């Protein structure tokens, strides 16, 4: 396994709402020793465009080694199985 593990996290941070699942996913990844490339989606338009591009219904979404892992619950399961 590589010394540095990296994950890309796309999460919603709007002026009036910070997605708690995005915060949870980031904390889970960091606790597991991942460096997190934290990609913030700052508007409903950015969130909607991201979801359409990736064919997903929700954010956050985590990618590891170019593979989509999923949201915070999916990340939790992924890390448990490592």
For 3-12, write each residue's pLDDT tens digit. 679 999 999 9
Here the CATH number for the domain that contains residue 40 is: 3.40.30.10
Residues with Cβ < 8 Å from 4, sequence gap 6 or more? 35
What is the count of structural domains for the chain? 1
Low-confidence ranges of the chain (pLDDT < 70): 1-3
pLDDT at 1 (0 to 100): 47
Domain extent at residue 19: 5-80
Residue with tokens 């990844």: 29
CB 29 within 8 A of CB 6: no
pLDDT at 4 (0 to 100): 76
């Amino acid at each position: 396994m590589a010394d540095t593990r990296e994950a890309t996290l796309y999460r919603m941070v709007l002026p009036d709402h910070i997605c708690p699942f995005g915060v949870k996913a980031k904390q889970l990844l960091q606790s597991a020793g991942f460096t997190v490339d934290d990609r913030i989606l700052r508007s409903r338009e950015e969130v909607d465009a991201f979801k359409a591009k990736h064919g997903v219904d929700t954010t956050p979404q985590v990618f590891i080694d170019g593979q989509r892992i999923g949201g915070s619950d999916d990340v939790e399961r992924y890390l448990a199985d490592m």
